[in-house]
Amino acid sequence: MHKMKILLTGSTGQLGKAILSTKPDNIDLLIPERKNFDLSRVESCKKIILKEKPDWIINCAAYTAVDKAEEEIELSKNINSYAPEAFAKCINEYNGNLLQISTDFVFNGEQNYPYLENQITNPINHYGYTKALGESLITKALKCKENGTILRTSWVISPIGNNFILTMLRLHSDKNFLNVVNDQIGAPTSSKDLAIVCWEIIKLKKAKNLPFILHWSDAGVTSWYDIAEAVGEIGIDLGILERKAKINPIKSIQYPTLAKRPKYSLLNTTNTSELLEKRPIHWRENLKRILIDYKKLNLN
């Protein structure tokens, strides 16, 4: 049986690591080292792709420092916009496929109901702009739309790496009081569930003629404040925390950041859920699973 060859970028990030740990058996996974496959230097990436000719590229690599992107404009654009465009052009040459991971930040957050896949993007910060530009450059570059999938997700969390959950665990331990914004509404996404969705898309893309743009996040709706509270409560239940901080809900305006954040960035995942026959798990349940995994990794 033909082993599918897949090139994974961003293998050291939260999603990249989850993709590695959920890899099906019949996959030959190429994981180029960052020094050889630097998305800010696209020519060297193109050489590797055209030499290896992977059946799929899963592009998890991204410039994700939302506030720094307001200053490192060229670098974030090279990584988030021009590299994905180059990948699309490469796969045209040998009929490969591209799975591009995108973000809820391509929307401005001004509506108060979940965003559909076909809505027009209108980002309000530079990170969102570079990801939206990446989407449109891929769309223009692909000779055959069937060979590409854009998978938008939101607020990725996991038991490793750099994410809100682990920051909150540390702050609950270290501080008595915390201020956390409560007027940015969305849904977190378990990196493990997102990785499983990536593999399902690859498996079903051709068989089901899946749409060009798909959305995935955990079920439910929440704010950063609610997540911070839940981390404290579940952390105590699991014996990870001895105590939790008192959390004061604040407005975004009281916590100024370089980049503006969308007020409401919930993604409508109904279509993806039906097509993949996979129901998203509620964010609080996934948060508990993540904290159980965190405990296994750190406290044994």
Where in the sequence numbering do the catalytic residues fall? 127
Instruction: Give Cα separations from 49 to 96, 108, 272 (angstroms).
Output: 10, 34, 28
Q: Is the dihedral of CA 57, 138, 187, 243 positive or negative?
A: positive
Give the Cα-Cα-Cα angle 147, 219, 271 (nearest 5 degrees): 35
Quick one: which H or E segment has residue 83? helix 83-94
Spatial CA neighbour of 218 closest among 227, 206, 229, 209: 227
Q: Are strands 185-186 and 27-30 parallel, antiparallel or unpaired?
A: unpaired
Amino acid 97 reads N
Q: Do 190 and 286 touch, CB atoms closer than 8 A?
A: yes
What is d(CA 217, CA 243) in angstroms, rounded to the nearest whole number?
Answer: 29
Other Cβ atoms less than 10 A from the Cβ of 236: the count is 14
What is d(CA 238, CA 227) in angstroms, rounded to the nearest whole number?
Answer: 16
Structure tokens that stand for 260 in this block:
């503006």
The three-state secondary structure class of 175 is coil
The three-state secondary structure class of 182 is coil
Q: Within 13 Å of residue 34, how many CA atoms lie on the same side as its CB?
A: 10
